[in-house]
């Protein structure tokens, strides 16, 4: 059998390659790292997390928690590696990013049916079955070819940003403390308090700090889910206090009271030697990041091991271009998977790679598609991005709004969400694993 060509060994590409290979389909996985790297990729490993090390909530009352649980039950490689390399993060699934990517890389490289081909792909292959999973920062040459592949349609952009990382050693723990919000679960976060005076000074400088230039992207569209902290700050003095600096449920043990504002730091590796500033994705110039973020008392002498950066993030106008199996409508031998399809987030990118591969494998084996129903998060996401009635298409995280309602009343939002998850998992569990 001719191998399926998968372009990009990110979260979606690795998941897709693995699922195809597990079903006996040979794969050629093309990755331009380490020869060439996008501005957000730093490591040579596959499945690199370009910003936060959190795969977000792991609770079934949350749609991304449901999506994770579905992927676990469906045998996802990415979820297996995440579970194996998780670090404590309250109700979220956060991972040691290096161990996580290392495990993905080993699994993919050691699979007898996957051949890794190093180097940039600059064309969509003219023949054969292809999954393009080159991500939101697809290299320029391939990006141009993708544009030409869809002459009628729009190829869209938005800004995305990553948060800085600091060493644990350099955090002043005399003015910070470990706790999770409302003391739920283990005390996984470092909480850095600010008094009202300190917050005022910090906010003033943050609003006025110099931003780095971004070239070739003049229509500054900002995606709400990953908004730079300085952009959020400029919306009003209190905005951050209801967002990333929210003090609710965080009592400073020194005073027994909630401070005026709190910056939270989350563990970024298993050893706990590196922490990220939660919600501090930023576009400020690097010296400005050091100057302004060092105004947070516990970060006065912080050592930044990586500064926040901002990038162009490219995606297809999928409702007009792709079907529910992530296949190109006018040329179904080509599928797209990952963030480039307009699904937003690590887990969502993984889910699209999973579904595209499972459906492609079935097609190659002469079987009908599975048609994951809309009641499941995996199915709902694919149906959303291929829904032609969606006009102004924006990248979207999985959410319960794209899953059909229960049809009966359940008291309380959390209970209702838990019930939606229960229904989804029940449907999924009825699928015959041998058939997938
Ligand atoms: P990627 O993981 O980017 O993988 C694509 C791979 O393709 C890369 O390895 C790349 O080197 C390779 N490649 C690119 N072009 C070529 C080519 N021409 N030939 C061969 N290989 C190629 N999501 C979250 O859930 N949380 C976050 O904190 C978060 N932060 C983000 C920050 C930034 C700056 C960006 C851009 C995105 C962020 N996202 C975040 C969104 C998204 O979840 C990630 O981008 C995710 O990695 C997407 O997975 P993917 O598999 O689609 O692409």
User: What tens-digit pLDDT sequence spans the chain (436 residues)?
Assistant: 899 999 999 999 999 999 999 999 999 999 999 999 988 899 999 999 998 899 999 999 999 999 999 999 999 999 999 999 999 998 999 999 999 999 999 999 999 999 999 999 999 999 999 999 999 999 999 999 998 998 776 777 766 778 898 989 899 999 999 999 998 888 989 999 999 999 999 999 999 999 887 644 444 555 545 688 999 999 999 999 999 999 999 999 999 999 999 999 999 877 788 899 999 999 899 899 999 999 999 999 998 888 887 777 889 999 999 999 999 999 999 999 999 999 989 999 999 999 999 999 999 999 999 999 999 999 999 999 999 888 778 788 898 989 999 999 999 989 999 999 999 999 999 987 777 8
**Neighbour-count burial of 361, counting CB atoms closer than 10 A to its CB (0-12 exposed, 13-18 middle, 19+ buried):** buried
Q: Is the CB of 98 under 6 A from ligand 1?
A: no
Residue 216 structure tokens: 């070739």
Q: Is the CB of 338 under 6 A from ligand 1?
A: yes
In this structure, the number of other CB atoms found within 10 A of the CB of residue 434 comes to: 5
Report whether the peptide linkage leading into residue 34 is cis, meaning its omega lies within 30 degrees of zero.
yes
Q: Is the CB of 28 under 6 A from ligand 1?
A: no
Q: Whose CA is nearest to atom 35 of ligand 1?
A: 160
DSSP string, 256-312: TB--SEEEEEEE-STTS-EEEETT----B-HHHHHHHHTTSGGGTTPPEEE---EEE
Residue 254 structure tokens: 């020194």
Residue 285 phi/psi, 5° resolution? -60, 150
Q: Which residue has the tokens 């005390």?
A: 187
User: In this predicted structure, what is the pLDDT of residue 425?
Assistant: 98
Residue 123 structure tokens: 């064309």
Over residues 70-124, the pLDDT tens digits come to 999 999 999 999 999 999 998 999 999 999 999 999 999 999 999 999 999 999 9
Tell me if ipTM is over 0.85.
yes
Over residues 245-297, the pLDDT tens digits come to 999 999 999 999 999 999 999 998 777 888 999 999 998 998 999 999 999 99
User: In this predicted structure, what is the pLDDT of residue 24?
Assistant: 97
Residue 257 structure tokens: 């009271």
User: In this predicted structure, what is the pLDDT of residue 436?
Assistant: 83
Ligand 1 site-directed mutation target among 58, 100, 135, most atoms within 8 Å of CB:
135
What atom of ligand 1 comes closest to residue 40's alpha carbon?
34
Expressed in angstroms and rounded, the spacing between residue 9 Cα and the centre of ligand 1 is 9
**Mean pLDDT over each residue of the chain, to the nearest integer:** 92
User: In this predicted structure, what is the pLDDT of residue 251?
Assistant: 96
What top-level class would CATH report for the domain 4-158+313-435? alpha beta
Expressed in angstroms and rounded, the spacing between residue 137 Cα and the centre of ligand 1 is 6
- Residue-level length of the chain: 436
Q: Is 8 marked as binding a ligand?
A: yes
Ligand 1 site-directed mutation target among 63, 130, 217, 349, most atoms within 8 Å of CB:
349
Q: Is 12 marked as binding a ligand?
A: yes
Expressed in angstroms and rounded, the spacing between residue 154 Cα and the centre of ligand 1 is 20
- What does the alpha-carbon distance between residue 353 and residue 271 come to, in Å, rounded to a whole number? 30
What atom of ligand 1 comes closest to residue 142's alpha carbon?
18
Q: Is the CB of 134 under 6 A from ligand 1?
A: yes
Using CA atoms, how far residue 254 sits from 19, 100, 193, 259, 265, in Å, is: 51, 36, 11, 10, 19
- What does the alpha-carbon distance between residue 15 and residue 353 come to, in Å, rounded to a whole number? 6
Q: Is the CB of 45 under 6 A from ligand 1?
A: no
DSSP string, 336-395: E-SGGGTB-SHHHHHHHHHHHHHHHHHHHTTPPP----TTSHHHHHHHHHT-TT--S---
Residue ranges of the domains in the chain? 4-158+313-435, 165-308
Q: Is the CB of 120 under 6 A from ligand 1?
A: yes
Q: Is 10 marked as binding a ligand?
A: yes
User: In this predicted structure, what is the pLDDT of residue 389?
Assistant: 87
What atom of ligand 1 comes closest to residue 310's alpha carbon?
34
User: In this predicted structure, what is the pLDDT of residue 51?
Assistant: 85
Ligand 1 site-directed mutation target among 8, 36, 55, most atoms within 8 Å of CB:
8
Q: Is the CB of 135 under 6 A from ligand 1?
A: yes
Which CATH code fits 165-308?
2.40.30
In sequence order, the 6+-apart residues with CB closer than 8 A to the CB of 377 are 63, 66, 67, 70, 351, 398, 403, 424
Q: Which of 191, 195, 196, 145 is nearest to 172 (CA)?
A: 191
Q: Is the CB of 395 under 6 A from ligand 1?
A: no
Q: Is the CB of 283 under 6 A from ligand 1?
A: no
Q: Is the CB of 121 under 6 A from ligand 1?
A: yes
- What does the alpha-carbon distance between residue 13 and residue 27 come to, in Å, rounded to a whole number? 11
- What does the alpha-carbon distance between residue 185 and residue 88 come to, in Å, rounded to a whole number? 9
Query: Is the CA virtual torsion 204, 207, 208, 209 positive or negative?
Result: positive
Q: Is the CB of 349 under 6 A from ligand 1?
A: yes
Residue 234 structure tokens: 């400029």
Q: Whose CA is nearest to atom 3 of ligand 1?
A: 135
Q: Is the CB of 139 under 6 A from ligand 1?
A: yes
pTM: 0.81
Q: Is the CB of 104 under 6 A from ligand 1?
A: no
User: In this predicted structure, what is the pLDDT of residue 218?
Assistant: 42
Q: Is the CB of 162 under 6 A from ligand 1?
A: yes
User: In this predicted structure, what is the pLDDT of residue 225?
Assistant: 54
56: helix, strand or coil: strand
In sequence order, the 6+-apart residues with CB closer than 8 A to the CB of 253 are 177, 179
What atom of ligand 1 comes closest to residue 143's alpha carbon?
18
Expressed in angstroms and rounded, the spacing between residue 191 Cα and the centre of ligand 1 is 29
């Amino acid at each position: 059998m001719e191998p399926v060509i998968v372009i990009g060994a990110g979260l979606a590409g690795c998941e897709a390659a693995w699922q195809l290979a597990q079903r006996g389909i040979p794969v050629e996985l093309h990755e331009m790292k380490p020869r060439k790297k996008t501005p957000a990729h730093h490591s040579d490993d596959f499945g690199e997390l370009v910003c936060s090390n959190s795969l977000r909530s792991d609770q079934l009352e949350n749609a991304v928690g449901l999506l994770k649980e579905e992927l676990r039950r469906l045998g996802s490689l990415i979820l297996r590696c995440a579970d194996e390399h998780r670090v404590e993060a309250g109700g979220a699934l956060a991972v040691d990013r290096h161990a996580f990517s290392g495990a993905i890389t080993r699994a993919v490289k050691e699979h007898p049916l996957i051949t890794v081909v190093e180097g940039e792909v600059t064309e969509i292959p003219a023949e054969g079955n292809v999954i393009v999973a080159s991500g939101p920062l697809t290299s320029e040459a391939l990006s141009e070819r993708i544009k030409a592949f869809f002459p009628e349609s729009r190829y869209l952009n938005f800004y995305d940003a990553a948060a800085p990382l600091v060493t644990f050693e350099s955090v002043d723990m005399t003015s910070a403390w470990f706790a999770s919000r409302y003391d739920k679960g283990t005390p996984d976060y470092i909480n850095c308090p600010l008094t009202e005076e300190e917050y005022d000074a910090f906010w003033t400088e943050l609003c006025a700090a110099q931003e780095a230039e971004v070239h070739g992207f003049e229509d500054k569209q900002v995606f709400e889910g990953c908004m730079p902290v300085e952009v959020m700050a400029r919306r009003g003095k209190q905005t951050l206090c209801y967002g990333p600096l929210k003090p609710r449920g965080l009592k400073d043990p020194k005073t027994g009271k909630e401070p005026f504002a709190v910056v939270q730091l989350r563990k970024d590796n298993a050893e706990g030697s590196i922490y990220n500033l939660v919600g501090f994705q930023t576009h400020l110039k690097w010296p400005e990041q050091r100057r302004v973020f060092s105004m947070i008392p516990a970060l006065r002498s912080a050592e930044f091991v990586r500064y926040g950066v901002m990038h162009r993030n490219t995606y297809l106008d999928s409702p007009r271009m792709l079907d529910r199996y992530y296949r190109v409508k006018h040329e179904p031998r080509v599928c797209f998977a990952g963030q480039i399809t307009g699904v937003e987030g690590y887990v969502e990118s993984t889910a699209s790679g999973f579904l595209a591969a499972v459906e492609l494998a079935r097609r190659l084996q002469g079987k009908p598609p599975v048609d994951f129903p809309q009641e499941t998060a995996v199915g709902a996401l694919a149906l959303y991005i291929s829904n032609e009635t969606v006009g102004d298409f924006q990248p979207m995280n999985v959410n319960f709004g794209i899953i059909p309602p229960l049809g009966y009343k359940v008291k309380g939002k959390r209970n209702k969400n838990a019930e939606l998850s229960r229904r989804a998992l029940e449907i999924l569990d009825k699928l015959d694993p041998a058939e997938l």
